[in-house]
Amino acid sequence: MTKQEQLPTLVTHVELMIEARWVVPVDSSNNLHEFYTVVIHHQVIVDVLPTAQARIRYTATESVVLDDHVLIPGLINAHTHAAMTLMRGIADDQPLMIWLNNHIWPAERAIVTERYVEDASLLASAEMLSGGTTCFNDMYFYPQATAAAASKAGIRAHLGLTVLEFPTNYAADADDYLQKGFEAHDSWRSNPLISSSLAPHAPYTISNQTFEKVLTYAEQLGLGIHTHLHETRDEISQSEASYGVRPIQRVADIGLLGPGFIAAHGVHLMPHEIDMLAEYGCHVAHCPASNLKLGSGIAPISALLKNNVNVCIGTDGAASNNRLDMFSEMRLAALLSKGVTEDASVLPAHQALKMVTINAARAIGLENKVGSIEIGKQADLVAVKLSDFSISPCYDPVSHLVYSCGREHVTHTWVAGELRYSHGTYANIEPVELKEIIQTWQPKLRQYKH
- 110 and 84 inside one domain: yes
Whether 203 maps to a domain, the answer reads yes
Question: In terms of pTM, does the model score above 0.75?
Answer: yes
CA dist., res. 421 & res. 417, Å (int): 12
Which residues make up each annotated binding site for substrate? 108, 201, 231, 316
> Where a domain ends, among 363, 393, 424?
363
- 63 and 83 inside one domain: no
pLDDT digits (tens, 9 = 90+) for 260-296: 999 999 999 999 999 999 999 999 999 999 999 999 9
- 277 and 400 inside one domain: no
Which residues make up each annotated binding site? 79, 81, 108, 201, 228, 231, 316
DSSP state of 446: G
- 295 and 330 inside one domain: yes
- 144 and 89 inside one domain: yes
- 123 and 176 inside one domain: yes
Identify the pLDDT of residue 11.
84
Q: How many folded domains does the chain comprise?
A: 2
- 50 and 100 inside one domain: no
CA dist., res. 447 & res. 87, Å (int): 11
- 130 and 273 inside one domain: yes
Residue 27: give the domain boundaries: 8-73+381-415
Identify the pLDDT of residue 9.
57
Which residues make up each annotated binding site for Zn(2+)? 79, 81, 228, 316
Whether 341 maps to a domain, the answer reads yes
- 244 and 162 inside one domain: yes
Whether 425 maps to a domain, the answer reads no
Find residue 40's DSSP bridge partners: 16, 45
In this prediction, the residues of the chain whose per-residue pLDDT falls under 50 are: 1-8
CA atoms within 13 A on the CB side of 440: 14
Identify the pLDDT of residue 4.
40
What CATH number has the domain bearing residue 12?
A: 2.30.40.10
pLDDT digits (tens, 9 = 90+) for 154-180: 999 999 999 999 999 999 999 999 999
Q: Cα 447 to the chain's mean position, in Å? A: 30
Nearest 10 degrees: CA dihedral of 418, 420, 426, 427? 30
